[in-house]
Amino acid sequence: MLRIRNIESGYGSIKVLRKVSLHVSPGEIVAIIGANGAGKTTLLRSISGLLKPWSGQIWFRGQDITRTPAERIVKLGCVLVPEGRQVFSTMTVRENLLLGATVRLKRGDHGEIERDMNWIYSLFPQLADRQNQIAGTLSGGEQQMLAIGRALMARPELLLLDEPSMGLAPNIVREIFNYIVRLRKELGLTVLLVEQNARSALRISDRAYVLETGRIILEGPSEDLLQDREVQRAYLGRDLDRELE
């Protein structure tokens, strides 16, 4: 589905990503965990075309998208749910969802778009009750649902999720993560998930990569990483060595 080889990227003269390579197979949920400033967001921005990589290559469904503009990548079926949700706060819930369908509206399948919107309302009943509410007045969890719903309106095959747990209460985080699992089950959606909340991310994902200062330092099935001593110490807040003493 997605293959990245030796990507290097950054801002101005500051290099953030150093030869990052990874792949995501169809139907997988893959997590990228890492601390603040490790380059997780930069990686997703590079994939989705918001940031032009300095070098390396990115393929999506066999097509080279390294230099493809962001809106074309959306059209191809790779859609980002940005960090901090970034809903269009002065617009209504409905308008936000319609914006997600921008790449489809041009082709004019309006009936289908209405149907998708109703499907999203049935998936997130909280949004259905607030169709005409201004998005900026939603709660954090509702905004995250809206951001995901907006991305789904483009009918993606690969969903890029940037820190969906950010700033949310633990029970809401659980709810959002349940939705991600459900989306894969019901839509066969492939998900690349970037998270600081390593434990939750490892629990719902099939495989994971550990990103540290712009490099992938570890890769493997999520179950194994959950048991990995180094990962436990650095990202799960559990020091086995000390516990065994």
Partner 1 sequence: MKGERIKIGLLCLLLVLIDLITTSVARTYYLTQLTMSLYYTLVVLGLVLLMGYAGQISLGHAGFFAIGGYTTAVLSTYNLLKYKDSAVVKVSSELGLLTLRENLYGEQILSFHPWIGVLLSLVIAATVAYLIGIPVLKLKGHYLAMATLGFGIIVYRIVLGTPIFGEADGVSDVPPFVILPGLSISGQMDERRANYYIASLLVVVVVYLMTNLINSRVGRALRAIHGAEDAAESAGVDTAEYKLKVFVMSAVIAALAGAFLTHFNGGIGPSEASVMKSVRYVAIVAAGGMASIWGGLTMAMLLNFLSLRGYFGQYDDAVFGAVLILIMLFAPEGLLRVNPAGLLKNIFKRS
Q: What does the binding site for partner 1 look like in residue numbers (CB under 8 A)?
A: 45, 48-50, 69-71, 74-75, 79-82, 86-91, 95, 98-100, 102-103, 105, 150-151, 154
Nearer to partner 1, 69 or 188 (CB): 69
Pairing of strands 29-33, 14-24: unpaired
Give the shortest CB-206-to-partner 1 separation in angstroms: 24
| Token digits of residue 8 | 């290097």
Name the minimum Å distance from CB 34 to partner 1: 21
Residue 36: closest CA among 16, 66, 64 = 16
CB 157 within 8 A of CB 61: yes
Rounded Cα–Cα distance for residues 186 and 72 (Å): 26
Closest to partner 1 by CB, 96 or 165: 96
Give which of 89, 49, 81 is closest to 151, Cα–Cα: 81
- Smallest gap from Cβ 37 to partner 1, in A, equals 19
CA distance 146 to 81: 10
Q: Tokens 């959002």 label which residue?
A: 176
Largest CA distance in the chain: 66
Q: How far is the CB of 30 from partner 1 (least distance, A)?
A: 19
- Of 5 and 155, the one with the shorter C-beta distance to partner 1 is 155
Give the separation between CA 147 and CA 237, rounded to whole angstroms. 29
Nearer to partner 1, 31 or 74 (CB): 74
User: Sheet harboring 215-221: ordered strands across?
Assistant: 78-81, 158-162, 190-195, 29-33, 207-212, 215-221
**Between 57 and 92, whose beta carbon lies closer to partner 1?**
92
Shortest Cβ 178–partner 1 spacing (Å)? 23
DSSP element (H, E) containing 53: none
CB of 97 to partner 1, least distance (A): 10
Q: What is the DSSP letter of 92?
A: B
